[in-house]
Amino acid sequence: MEKRWLKSLTFTTLGLGLAVTTVALTGCDIGTSSTVSGDKVKVYTTMAAEADFAKQIGKDHVDVTTWLPFDTNVWQWAPTLADQKNLESADMFIRNGVHVEDRWWSQVEAEMKIKNKKLAVVDASTGIDKLQLQRFVNPDVSDEERNKPRKDPYFYLDPVNAKKEVDTIEAALEAKAPKFKDDFKKNAEDLKKQLDDLDKQFKDMASKAKHKEIVSPYPAFQYLAQQYGLKNYVPDTFNATKFPWDDPAKSEAIKADLAKHDLKTVFFEQDAAPRVKEFLFEMGYVAGALGTYQGGQDPTGYKTYVETMKANLKVLDEGLNAN
């Protein structure tokens, strides 16, 4: 297997005898546009954010599929045999790159070495400073496995990190299909302008917020919090669907724990169950829902990354200023 590592772009070219030419820090040339299986670059991704970035950059020149289904725990999921079969005809696979593929990637990679030697593999986390994962959400593993240190894969929920991903993915697409490079560059610049605007809006919101802490049982928001000068706390005693309402002592312990933090809103990764909202309200809190943009989007109601983050901005603005 031949590998070339770049500071802003990581490819693993699967197979031998494939000429790889490294150019600058913005991309690399893997063959020519003839390496693309058709008129479009066929792209697969693990998660939704990278899929949307590829769509926004590639537009009509790409065909993008997200492997992770909507509303699925990324830590419990693995690609099916059908998913792997589809990858055999792909031009590019974009990994999140921070632990979410660990359980199954080596097997998939071994298959692609044999069955798809032209596949370009892109690590979307390249060039991003990784934080430690605050909580591993997978009830199917042992306590020992759950407590292993891991890096946090939710870096993409920070618009500044998202810009870095856009550069990485744009360079990968340009390398794979250079005949479309002008379109890729223009689309990437347009997307980065939207992300710059989003960044400014988050800065303004956070600077004026009454409460300066994002409290959520779901461990996806520390990059976002850190970027905008907010604290982030991840309680592990309840979640969007479960609350120990049958155990007064545990309920009181949660109340005492939350009282130590600067919040009036608890943020979940989905709309909290009515009973959870009820018990939080009795404690003096309300529930908000922040989109994590992990799994595939509904094609009939597709929301882009930028649209989802603008919705998150509104939820945070309301939640961090609640009385």
Q: Which of 131, 96, 130, 127 is nearest to 232 (CA)?
A: 131
Check residue 35 and give its pLDDT: 58
The dotted CATH code for 209-320 is 3.40.50.1980
Mean pLDDT of 120-147: 87
Decide if 2-193 and 209-320 have a common fold. yes
* pTM of structure: 0.87
Mean pLDDT of 121-136: 95
Q: Is the pLDDT of residue 90 over 90?
A: yes
List 126's β-bridge partners, or say none: none
Question: What is the architecture, at CATH level 2, of domain 2-193?
Answer: 3-Layer(aba) Sandwich (3.40)
Q: Which residues, at least 6 apart from 296, have a Cβ–Cβ distance to it below 8 Å?
A: 48, 51, 65, 66, 67, 68, 69, 70
List 287's β-bridge partners, or say none: 266
181-220 pLDDT tens trace: 999 999 999 999 999 999 999 999 999 999 999 999 999 9
Q: Quick one: pLDDT band at residue 17, thresholds 50, 70, 90? A: very low
Q: Is the pLDDT of residue 31 over 50?
A: no
Q: Is the pLDDT of residue 137 over 90?
A: no
Q: Taking the domains of the chain in order of start, what are their residue ranges?
A: 2-193, 209-320
Q: What is the CB neighbour count within 10 angstroms for residue 242? A: 12
Phi/psi at 144 (nearest 5 deg)?
-60, -45
Check residue 166 and give its pLDDT: 98
Mean pLDDT of 263-275: 96
Percentage of residues in the chain having pLDDT higher than 90? 78
Q: What is the CB neighbour count within 10 angstroms for residue 204? A: 13
- Written as six digits, the tokens of 155 are 């870096």
Check residue 278 and give its pLDDT: 94
Residue whose token pair is 């820090």: 25
What integer best gives the mean pLDDT of the chain?
88
CA dist 210 and 232 (Å) reads 15
Q: Which residues, at least 6 apart from 124, have a Cβ–Cβ distance to it below 8 Å?
A: 45, 49, 50, 94, 95, 96, 97, 156, 165, 168, 169
Using alpha carbons only, how large is the chain's radius of gyration in Å? Answer: 21
Q: Quick one: pLDDT band at residue 37, thresholds 50, 70, 90? A: low
Burial of 157 (0-12, 13-18, 19+ CB in 10 A): buried
